[in-house]
Amino acid sequence: MLVLGTLLGLFVLFNFILPMLVGLIKIALIIGVVALLVFVAVTVMSKSSRSH
């Protein structure tokens, strides 16, 4: 019974929790990349407008 419970727990972990975590990490990475691009764009814009 203990072995069955352990196997079921691992099954749930690998099939539900890990894909959710991977999805969250992907979303966080996408948000991070977008934020970085916006930051770089704003920095470039402010430098170019200051030099004129």
Q: Is residue 52 part of a domain?
A: no
* pLDDT exceeds cutoff 90 at 49: no
Would you call 4 helix, strand, or coil by DSSP? helix
- The reply to whether 51 falls in a domain is no
| pLDDT tens, position by position, 13-41 | 889 989 999 999 999 999 999 999 999 99
Domain for residue 10, yes or no? yes
pTM tops 0.75, yes or no: no
In a domain, 27, yes or no: yes
Q: Is 33 exposed, middle or buried (0-12, 13-18, 19+ CB in 10 A)?
A: exposed
Q: Does 12 map to a domain?
A: yes
pLDDT at 31: 97
Provide the pLDDT for residue 52: 67
